[in-house]
Structures are given as C-alpha cells and as structure tokens.
Structure 1
Amino acid sequence: MDKLIHVVEDDDDIRFIVEYILTESGYKVESSSNASAFYKSLEHTTPDLILLDVMLPDGNGIDICRDLREKESTRDIKIIVMSAHAAEKAVLEEACSDDFISKPFDLDDLLRHVKRFVPR
C-alpha cells in the first residue's frame, strides 16, 4: 500500500517539484495551497506524513502543527515543517513538529528527511 504524503505549500513551483519528486519516488501525494484546503482534505484522508510550509496565505504552519498535535485523530501524523524564514530549533519546539527543512532545500535531502518517517 502506498504511503500518503500531504504537501501544504502556497508556492506553485515548489509544490509542483515536491509532488513530482515524491511521486517519482513511489509515494502517493496530495497537496494544498492553503490551510483551509488542507483542513478540508483531512475530512476525507489521513496522510502518513505532512510537509507543512510555515507561511501560508490563510494561516501559519506553526499554528496548524500545534492544532494537529492537539487533536486525537491527527496527533500521531508525522509532520515536517518547511520554511525559509524560521529558525530550526524554534520551529521544532514551537510547532511540535517531527523535523524541519530549511528552504531552499536540496531534493535529495528532502527525500532523506521523508524516508526517515515514511520508508519505501
């Protein structure tokens, strides 16, 4: 069974590249460009991993991460926060995420992070 990764990223180019790399690596991928679309998708599917941008047009990834950790239905989903603006230690502590990727990122490095939590 394919592992599902949900990419929450408002930048169309970054979202496309991440989706492409993950799909080519054998993962099933869903994506959202904003927080409201992401929350709506959670009504229908539960991903194995969430790649979550911090700065979204209608929300903050750190707040979303905290919210997911507080809900019983989503607290065990692995979350990797991605940001060009946030310090790694602060994000890991504030958001309670499982990992952090600084943008811009190397695609091989992205896959290494993903495979730590969702091995193929």
Structure 2
Amino acid sequence: MIKRIHVLEDDEDIRYIIGVLLKDEGYELQLSSTFAELKTKLKDSVPDLFILDVMLPDGDGASICADLKGDVFTRHIPIIVMSANDQNKQISIEAGANDYISKPFDIDYIVKRINAQLNK
C-alpha cells in the first residue's frame, strides 16, 4: 500500500525538492504552504506522516504539531518537524513531534528518517 505524506512548507523551492524526492521514493504527496490549507486538505484524506516546517505564515510548526497531536483523528500520525534554527528542536519534541530534521538537510538523510517513522 502506498504511503501518503503531507508536507507543510511555505518555501516553494523546499516544497518542490521534497515533493520530487518523495515521489521518486514512491510516496503519495499532499503539499500545503499554510496551516489553513493543511486543515482543508485533511477533510479529504488523512496522511500516514506529516512533515512540518517551523516558520509558517499562519503559525509555527511546534504549535501545529501540538494541535495535530491533540486531535483524535491525527494524534496517531507520526510528525517530523523541520527548521533551520536548532533552538526549535526541544520545543518541537515537547509539542509531540516524533522526529526533528535540521535544515539544510541531506536528501538521503531525510528519506531514512521518513522511512524510520513509517516502518515503526
């Protein structure tokens, strides 16, 4: 069964790179640039994994992570938070993130971290 990943990233270039990378790995993708867009898309389908950026136009990844982990429909879904600022790592883990990836990231590294979360 094909795994679906929802990527919430406001940087168009990073969203594109992650999208191409994950499609090449055989994943189905949902892409959003805002939390509002993510919530709208969740009404149609729930992913197997979330990847959240920290700095977003309508929120921050740690708060969004806590919101998703507090929702009965999404609390079981693994979340990977990404940020260029490593000070966000502890905040993200405390908010319920299953993993944290520092930007910039190595492509092979991010694939390994995604696979690790999806194969638990």
Q: Report the TM-score range of the alignment, normalised by the length of the smaller protein.
A: over 0.9
Partner Cα distance (2:109, 2:56) in 1: 23
Answering whether residue 40 of structure 2 is matched by residue 40 of structure 1, we say yes
**Which structure 2 segments of 5+ residues have no match?**
none
Amino acid at match of 2:104: P
What TM-score, normalized to structure 2? 0.94
Aligned match of 1:99: 99
Q: Secondary structure at the match of 2:63?
A: helix
Partner Cα distance (2:86, 2:38) in 1: 21
Aligned match of 1:82: 82
**Which structure 1 segments of 5+ residues have no match?**
none
Per-residue deviation at 1:86?
3.9
Aligned length: 118
Aligned CA-pair RMSD: 1.0
Partner Cα distance (2:86, 2:68) in 1: 19
Per-residue deviation at 1:91?
2.0
Amino acid at match of 1:40: T
Per-residue deviation at 1:89?
2.7
Deviation per CA, 1:23-62: give whole Å up to 9, x if none.
0000001100111101111111100000000110111111
Q: Could you list the structure 1 runs, at least 4 aligned residues long, displaced by more than 3 angstroms after superposition.
A: none
